[in-house]
Structure 1
Amino acid sequence: MRALLSSILLSLPAVLSGADSNPPPTFANVAYGTHPRQVMDVWKAESAKPAPVVFHIHGGGWVKGDKREVKEVSAYLTAGISVVSINYRYSTQAQETGVMPPVEWPVHDAAQALQFVRSKAGEWNLDKKRIAATGASAGACSSLWLAFHDDLADPSNSDPVARESTRLLCAAVEIAQTSLDPLLLKEWTPNSRYGGHAFGLMDPKDLKTRDTRFAEFLERRSEFLPWIREYSPMEHASAGDPPVYLFYPAAPSIGQDQRDPTHTANFGVKLKETLDGLHLACELVYPGAPEVKHPTVESYLIDTLTH
């Protein structure tokens, strides 16, 4: 089933992985902003003390997808873990309104939603200090960006939500893009094609154009470099960052074309090299990976959040 994950994500919203087996949320479509897509579903765990939280960000390249894609909600609730799954504004919507780079909207919406969840900790019986981000593909990239980025809390802001932290206990993700630097992507995986749309290189009215301008993206890299450095998760990794778990359904092969270059484990290998150099914990899982402690994202999150 996991081997099909990348193809499933590319066909969303036709398939909503995990949606059919999840219980109804405790609170549905809770607004954390004013846009129709700035909403979240919340499942509250039965707990005598504040519950840890799985914070889910859906995939779909930041151009499609839905919060209903969250998986294993029942398993988390049974373990005493509450679950939040968010929608966010698409990069195409940002691009159509002139926001540059378009990736700013989905990534910063994730941060705002996380702050909103923390602001509700007392009301929803949540443990602010034990929040883990998860997601697949673009949702994984956003999760890792939150994990490594400096805290976006604004202590002097009059809005109490904006004063909340964006830091995480950990992140556990699937098929993550760990960098949006076309030069690195080309070096790691020669047939790379992903990333340019995050910086406006697509027709926002035609999703089929999303991955068609990689050569231009590479040629114009110097122009986009400040944005690349801001929105590539591994650019922000530094000492003291939380541990991460990375799952990929196929083994890596650095420097070789990949069947699915957008979701290759090459991303994970290179992030792990960076994190190892910083002495940060990183569990990288793929078929044949050595020393696998947690075979799934769910097992890692339950173990980490409950111990």
Structure 2
Amino acid sequence: MKRFIPGLVLALLGTGAAWAQTPYNAETTYRKLVRDYPFIRIAGSETPASVQLRKDLVYLEHPDLALGLDLYLPQPGARPAPLVILVHGGGWASGDRTGMAPLAARLAARGFAAATVSYRLSGQARYPAAITDVRESLRWLRDNAASFGIDPGRVAISGASAGGQIASLVGMLEPQAVRAVINIDGLSDFTTEESRKHEDDPNKKPSAAGAWFGGRYSEKAPLWRAASPITHVGKDSPPVLFIISGVPRFSVGREAMAAKLASYGIASDTVALPGTPHSFWLFDPWVEPTVEAMDAFLRRTLPWFSAPPEYPSVSGLTFRHELDRTQA
């Protein structure tokens, strides 16, 4: 069994142009959005008494950097719990795993084990370092599954924004280990004209994607293709749920990836939250419908899963967003 260390120490590898000027988190994003969405509130990540939180577990140590995860464990049941790995967003250059804590706490309250993971950002190491890190977190969690009451055969991966792209890519690269993928407002294809209009904008020096790849599309086209989840869809790929905001640019490539999955007989689904901004998963009233969509999809795709008939409310919300559901 690989070791885990209670206590995470991060030694950053310096700063550079790839780092975001403003940190990506709920607080900074709230200040940007509240004028247009005055009803939003930063989602809490409190855990009910039934959920055990194991913080700062180190899953991978680089020479100058230890990478950790926080593990939210549900109340023990008759059999090991299914696991959802959650990958944070931030344009590959910012953000941290606490951004996925509200989703993790609510999923754990519903009977899932949920792990929020850190990975190397573009200012620390370029692509494919983040992909390597998340794949290692998957392996570490499966290797240590018995210690945490997790079923290593029922693992899903999800992420939001840049984390959605990373999670989707890892799911396509690890079809034997990952049974389901949930991409929350993340790109499926870096190479399309619509994607490059934003991600390869010459006025951005560099763009978030360009900083991650170490060059523009014309300079690093093989990397831009390799990092696109759609590139790796095949006959063994897991089913995918896309949860999308009202800002189409962030989920570019979704329709084409759904069609490619369908060509292999693999299911996908899209849940749209109309009128929402990007980063909706950080805020109430949108966290609860996001978790409801994730929960419903995971119950269909992770075999033989049944949670307790009742689960405590983390947020206390009575609001239920009316979802527009379109079959991909």
TM value normalised by structure 1: 0.70
- 1:60-81 per-residue CA deviation (whole Å, 9 max, x = no partner) reads 1121111111233343223321
Identity percentage of aligned residues: 22
Counterparts of residues 91-102 of structure 1 (less than 5 Å): 91-94=122-125, 102=126
Counterparts of residues 1-307 of structure 1 (less than 5 Å): 11-12=24-25, 14=27, 18-22=43-47, 26-35=53-62, 36-45=65-74, 46-70=76-100, 71-94=102-125, 102-150=126-174, 167-181=177-191, 184=192, 186-187=193-194, 190-192=197-199, 193=201, 195-201=209-215, 217-218=216-217, 220=218, 223-250=219-246, 252=248, 261=249, 263=250, 265-286=251-272, 296-305=293-302, 306=305
Q: Aligned partner of 2:165: which letter?
A: C
CA distance in 1, matches of 2:151, 2:117: 18
The structure that is strand-richer by fraction is 2
Change (3 A) 1:51 1:268: same
Runs of at least 5 residues in structure 1 that lack an aligned partner in the other structure: 1-8, 95-101, 152-164, 202-216, 253-260, 289-293
Q: Is the 8 A contact 1:147 1:241 kept in 2?
A: yes
Change (3 A) 1:141 1:77: same
CA distance in 2, matches of 1:90, 1:191: 20
- 2:57 counterpart SS class: strand
Change (3 A) 1:272 1:66: same
CA distance in 1, matches of 2:198, 2:70: 37
- How far the C-alpha of 1:189 sits from its partner, in A, is 7.3
Counterpart residue number, 1:6: none
Change (3 A) 1:20 1:126: closer
CA distance in 1, matches of 2:151, 2:28: 32
CA distance in 2, matches of 1:287, 1:28: 31
Change (3 A) 1:68 1:187: closer
- 1:92 counterpart SS class: coil
- How far the C-alpha of 1:198 sits from its partner, in A, is 2.1
Change (3 A) 1:231 1:298: same
Aligned residues: 242
Change (3 A) 1:191 1:62: closer
Q: Is the 8 A contact 1:57 1:67 kept in 2?
A: yes
Change (3 A) 1:81 1:276: same
Change (3 A) 1:29 1:287: closer
- 1:284 counterpart SS class: strand
- How far the C-alpha of 1:276 sits from its partner, in A, is 2.1
Q: Aligned partner of 1:239: which letter?
A: K
- 2:254 counterpart SS class: helix
Counterpart residue number, 1:4: none
- 2:123 counterpart SS class: helix
Q: Aligned partner of 2:152: which letter?
A: K
Q: Is the 8 A contact 1:91 1:104 kept in 2?
A: no
Change (3 A) 1:21 1:298: farther
- How far the C-alpha of 1:18 sits from its partner, in A, is 4.1
Q: Is the 8 A contact 1:269 1:284 kept in 2?
A: no
CA distance in 2, matches of 1:287, 1:50: 32
Change (3 A) 1:287 1:69: closer
CA distance in 1, matches of 2:59, 2:262: 36
Change (3 A) 1:238 1:76: same
RMSD over aligned CA atoms reads: 2.8
- 2:183 counterpart SS class: strand
Q: Aligned partner of 2:46: which letter?
A: S
